[in-house]
Chains A and B, each alone.
Chain A
Amino acid sequence: MYYLGVDTGGTFTDFVALNAESGEITTFKVPSVPEDPARAVLVGVERLRDRHGVEPSEIGRFIFGTTVATNSVLELKGAKTALVATKGTRDVIEIQRLWRSHLFDLYIQKPPPLVPRRWRFEADERIGSQGEVVTPLTDEEAERVARLVVDGDFEAVAICGLFSFLNSSHEETLRDAILAAKPDALVSISSAVSPEFREFERATTTVMNAYVMPRIDRLANRLETLLGEIGCASQLRIIQSNGGLMNVATTRSHPVRTLLSGPAGGVVGAVGVAKAAGFDDIIAMDMGGTSLDICLARGGEVTLSTEGQVGAYPVQVPQVNVHTIGAGGGSLARVIRGALKVGPESAGAIPGPVCYGKGGTEPTSTDAAVTLGYIDPGYFVGGEMSLDVAGAKRAVETHVGEPLGMDAAEAALAIVRVQVANMVTGIRSVSVEKGWDPREFALLPFGGAGSLYAGLIAEDLGITDIFVPIQPGVLSALGMLLTDIKYTDVVTRLMDTDTASAEAFEEIYAGLEAKLQVELSGEGMDAGAIRFDRTCDMRYRGQAYEINVPLPDTSPEKLVDAMADAFHAMHRSMYGQAAEGDPVEFVNYRVTGVGVIKKPDLKPLGDMAAGESAEKGTRQAYFPGIGWAETPRYERSALRPGAKIEGPALVEEAGATVVLFPGHALTVDGFGNMAIKVQGRRSERSAQ
């Protein structure tokens, strides 16, 4: 039997097929077909059969990741969507809480609402803050609104009523009225999509669900038909933003959950391989041409957030906590009034860095790396492209070196340092700003450019371990094979330390678990393979933001106090103070039900044979503190378990180079992953 992971990106669709018996992995990429992503899947499945001898009927698990929804939102190319809101509130999604993203700009514009005002309708109805009906929704009113929506010929409809998270009856009535008038309408209601407090964020999430629904719906249909036609026995699973898998029916009703499907796959892959190698606490950084995705995982689990953002819009669904900044290989280096800036502007794919020779004239971070000798000009993307070193060097010298009075190497290193500082700021925002000390984490770079800089980033943050996984180019697709089925559910009920009891908690959690048990059983999971994780969102009475506290393992009579203690401790550690004497409130009770899927075992590599060597000569490269050095180069694919390398050195593979800085030491594990020990922090002075 084979497990197949397919990750649809903007340019390529990645395939990872894993033989469940032998642990052998087959990987390849085929060009994506943006107008019909399923076509690339068909091409890949045929290639798997024709070139690798894997029959579709042998595919026992088919897991799919997609950026279709993400790109619809980023490019504002979603469906023609209508919004129905409570009377008096249709502009909430355009007012956007009155906030502006930056200051001192007379020309500032807000992000355009995904539904323009002419397509926003109001229903005369109202639910109050206790869930009570304030203004009843009459049948005539529901029908009036339904007619407006149906007559407007919309592809999708979002409905967001005030306090629907406490009482969903009005939203449901409106939905039913629309479906009665147009049975095939695609309708999203906020009480089902995002049943949480704060109307702007909930409405925006619901609108986004509707906005991407038609495209996801078409894609799901296409894929299901396709799998049937080629005789693939597997049920289709789609990776959702929280890093877990979901079935096609849930994907259809909650497409907003696929908004971070792509990055979630990468993160889950990174966490999966790191965990297998013994690194449970990691900061993963996926660096491509234009952006850097950063994510923190603890105890082998990805941290989740419900306060994410896609483009300029808030999305209130559980998602892997990925933080994206504009730092990539194509980030432009510019001297502005004597100070050096790198990014967020990027040279993009066209013209790209100067060294690509496609017309770029301004130096990028990749040009700096080439100037420093970090990248083999003859081996870029596995030798498919050769690089213009002289051009890169000239650009660095002219645009950065001359204005700052530095030679090309110093200027290139300055570019790298500024870029590293930007990346460090990004990493700080997922670590220290959330109360985590990055020094307790291993840094995990993947994507094309991350491993060039990981050593310097680690030094800056005081991180001592770097983990460079196998298969960095298709880690997302690989990650899907290491993913469990995951559903989360939440109940909101306000209790405090005086009124709460272990019995009340147990009743809530047991109820949630029973519900999840049904869903997971429907996925074909055995009871023995299902695990539940309980957490509670807690705060001091009067606060509005909660801290998510995992339930401590203790006896029922001590549970309430132990939870309060855990909360006080987290509050003090994150915020520098706690009010131990004050009442603590329990707000949201969350259960994550995990259907643990048997993970394939990866096949260990054989040991290095006597006389075999991965070393392939030397190259001049420039390092902080020591300057130019004749630096040994290694071919990654030839490295065998147990191999050890001392920095400075360069480890090269198709699509990525690991720069091993002086004082850093690398070892290769049984599967071919590389672990780097970082030897303390260089002082800032000697780094110049």
Chain B
Amino acid sequence: MTTKTKVDPVSIEVVGNYLVSAVREMNSTLRRTAYSTILRESMDSSTALFDPQGQMIGQADHVPSHQGSLAKAARMVAEDIPLDPEDIVILNHPYEGGTHHPDIMIFKPVFHDGHLVAISAALGHHIDVGGRSPGSISSDARDVFEEGLMIPPMKLYRKGVVVPEILRMIEANIRVPEKTLGDIRAEISAVTIGERRYLELVERYGREELAEIVAGVLDYSEDLMREDLAKLPNGSYSAEGFLDSDGIDDRPVRIFVTVTLKDGDVVVDFEGTDPQVKGPFNCSDSSVYSAVYAGIRYMTNPIIRQNEGCFRPIEIVRPEGTVVKPRKPAPISGRFTTLERIADTIVLALNQARGDDQVGSSLACVCSFAANGTYPNSERRFVCFEIFGGGWGGTMRGDGLDASFGLMANSYDTPIEAVELEYPLRVESYNMITDSGGPGSNRGGLGFYRHTRYLHGEGYYTNRSETSKFPPKGVLGGKPGAPSKQRLVRATGKTDELPSKITNLSIYGGDLIWMAQPGGGGYGNPLDREPARVLDDLLDEKISPEAARDIYGVVVEGGAVDAAATEARRAELRTAA
């Protein structure tokens, strides 16, 4: 822990808010200048500012998994790389600070009068970085070399001068360089805006005074974190969660966590987690950190400003050679599903410390799919990559969020019209799924369909999904949410049921990529749900008439609840249970 300096509370608010607004501006710059749909429409990107030691000092409401990851990588950049003014550092190497291959990080040191005052950082998910499958998210890679181009930390710009050979090297190894090189420029825009904004702050306060205030901003977040964590009863709480498979061997992968709380300090221990797996569902260092930071952060007040101070109360223990601390060159590109599972498992473990204030399991995955091919009447090639979510768990306070990204993500969908303008694809359904939310007195959120027709020619389809065998759990009598389902409906009408992970399946014009995203787990006994809310769900087709009658025990006649019949039906169902 750092020695606390006494900084006036006004400056903490002023500078803390400024940093948030600067980082938000960085990410909006990235979006506005980006080229690929995954960045400009979905905003699968994050930005942050760091102090010269690599401590995260500001970030905004973007992808949680990126934020912890950037924090880990920035520290490495700060410690290991001698930085000069106007340098720009690039990296994606998963064993040297990166998360997985498609996430390219860009760092720009911020100098004032020859002194390093901050590091401005951006992370963007790129549509393709080479490797064995278009989109670079193969679900069955055997090692990191199959997964795409790896860039160890290196200077893309030296003192303001670009090193063109690096860009040529990247260009030669990826499938759609015109998108990716443009997106790297967008990341450079973002870090340049971050540099400008931080220098304005230095001008205003002076270097040394600002450093003191920033230290105070971090300490303040740390204090609030500890205060919230100390409200939970001391003790050790364990839970397990499973991935459907590792993408190669068809057997579940176990995540086991023990969270120990002591007066505001937290230790998260992964003893009991499975050994590293063959397929790409191992987690790089920075990914594990991000999952733990986020899982614990969900136990505290959302208004706390997210920065290094939020990480300080947390210690992480990982046995060597496990899914959460694999040895190089274990493959890692599917790590997002694992870290969603880690965050969800931490939430489930801490449910035991929360009395009635528990939370149903969320979708716990980011489903992504990639497809490639050529445009009609052209040799031009495309790679499409999209990400999806599902429903959240019900809580003591209300129903889980319908159709959202998981705990570790926050992006946008790609609009149907953006998909169809950009690619020879057609999205035929994007609606929520009746009965997919886990029943409960507070229901789990609904999952949704996303059915995409592959219109032309031929190519490969890769899917990295989850939650098909282990549907999101309910709590305190709540029922599980609906699992995910994946199918391929061939142009001939033949339907193939697919596992949740599939790599480079040949697809042809007219085939339909059929996906059902999972719902969240329910909270509390569905027989306790107010009949009026059951009726609302029924009228909105969020539940079926069968579910209303047989799971919620609500009898509806002529568009209204029959109170007496409902009471009888509920008594009957309670006895049967």
Contacts and interface: CB of A to CB of B under 8 A. Distances in A.
Contacts of A421: 10, 13-14, 17-18
A106 B192 contact: no
B29 interface: yes
B320 interface: no
B415 interface: yes
B502 interface: no
B64 A103 contact: yes
A612 to B, nearest CB: 42
A305 interface: no
A97 B33 CA distance: 20
Contacts of B29: 574-576
A340 interface: yes
A340 B41 CA distance: 37
Interface string B522-566: 000000000000000001111000000000000000000000000
B574 interface: no
Given A94-B403, A106-B359, A432 B64 contact: no
A177 B217 CA distance: 61
B421 interface: yes
B64 A104 contact: yes
A90 B61 contact: no
A89 interface: yes
Given A88-B428, A117-B542, A108 B294 contact: no
Contact of A338 (B189, B220, B397): B220
A101 B61 contact: yes
Contacts of B13: 339-342, 418, 421
Contacts of A542: 35-36, 178-179, 182
B303 to A, nearest CB: 8
A6 to B, nearest CB: 37
A118 B542 CA distance: 9
A118 B535 CA distance: 11
Nearest to B63: A103
Nearest to A338: B9
A198 B40 contact: no
A612 B526 CA distance: 79
A404 interface: yes
Interface string B60-71: 010010000000
A98 B404 contact: yes
A91 B403 contact: yes
Interface in A334-356: 335, 337-342
Interface stretch (B239-247, B252-260, B334-342, B429-437): B429-437
A91 B432 contact: yes
A543 B182 contact: yes
A129 interface: yes
Contacts of A545: 31-33, 40
B121 interface: no
A428 B21 contact: yes
Given A108-B401, A575-B189, A103 B421 contact: no
Interface stretch (B229-237, B264-272, B405-413, B458-466): B405-413
B403 A104 contact: no
A633 to B, nearest CB: 28
A422 B182 contact: no
Contacts of A116: 539-540
B35 A89 contact: no
A615 interface: no
Nearest to A335: B9
A198 B205 CA distance: 43
A104 B297 contact: yes
Given A104-B300, A163-B417, A418-B13, A92 B430 contact: yes
A388 B189 CA distance: 52
A428 B193 CA distance: 13
A337 B10 CA distance: 13
Contacts of A499: none
B10 A417 contact: yes
A99 B411 contact: yes
A105 B388 CA distance: 19
A544 interface: yes
Contacts of B9: 335, 338-340, 404, 414
B294 A104 contact: yes
A100 interface: yes
Contacts of A574: 29
- Tell me the interface secondary structure of chain A in the complex: loop
A577 interface: yes
Nearest to B293: A104
A198 B402 contact: no
Given A337-B220, A540-B35, A129 B417 contact: yes
Interface in B510-526: none
A104 B409 CA distance: 10
Contact of A544 (B40, B397, B405): B40
Interface residues of A, number: 66
Contact of B388 (A98, A337, A339): A98
Given A88-B430, A545-B40, A684-B11, A98 B21 contact: no
Contacts of B196: 576
Contacts of A162: 416-417, 420
B105 to A, nearest CB: 18
B8 to A, nearest CB: 7
Interface string A588-627: 0000000000000000000000000000000000000000
Interface in A164-207: 197-200
A688 interface: yes
A100 B389 CA distance: 12
Contacts of A102: 61, 302
B473 to A, nearest CB: 15
B395 interface: yes
Given A107-B397, A417-B10, A575-B189, A544 B416 contact: no
B125 interface: no
Given A94-B403, A575-B33, A576-B193, A109 B411 contact: no
B395 A107 contact: yes
Contacts of A106: 298, 347, 359, 392-393, 395
Interface string A563-582: 00000000100111101000
A97 B409 CA distance: 13
A422 B448 CA distance: 39
A433 interface: yes
A118 B539 contact: yes
Contact of B401 (A110, A339, A544): A110
Contacts of A95: 402-403, 413, 430, 432, 448
A105 B359 CA distance: 11
Contacts of B14: 417-418, 421
Interface in B1-60: 8-14, 17-18, 21, 24-25, 28-29, 31-37, 40-41
B306 interface: yes
B132 interface: no
19 contacts: A88-B430, A95-B430, A97-B415, A102-B302, A103-B61, A106-B298, A129-B420, A198-B415, A200-B415, A335-B9, A342-B13, A404-B9, A414-B10, A417-B14, A433-B21, A433-B24, A543-B182, A579-B185, A688-B10
Given A339-B9, A340-B9, A576-B189, 13 more contacts: A89-B416, A89-B430, A95-B448, A98-B389, A99-B411, A107-B395, A118-B541, A417-B10, A418-B14, A543-B40, A544-B418, A576-B188, A684-B205
Interface of B: 8-14, 17-18, 21, 24-25, 28-29, 31-37, 40-41, 61, 64, 178-179, 182, 185, 188-189, 192-193, 196-197, 200, 204-205, 209, 220, 223-224, 227, 294, 297-298, 300, 302, 306, 347, 359, 388-389, 392-393, 395, 397-398, 401-405, 410-413, 415-418, 420-421, 426-432, 448, 451, 539-542
Interface of A: 88-92, 94-95, 97-110, 116-118, 128-129, 134, 162-163, 197-200, 335, 337-342, 404, 414, 417-418, 421-422, 425, 428-429, 432-433, 540, 542-545, 571, 574-577, 579, 681, 684-685, 688
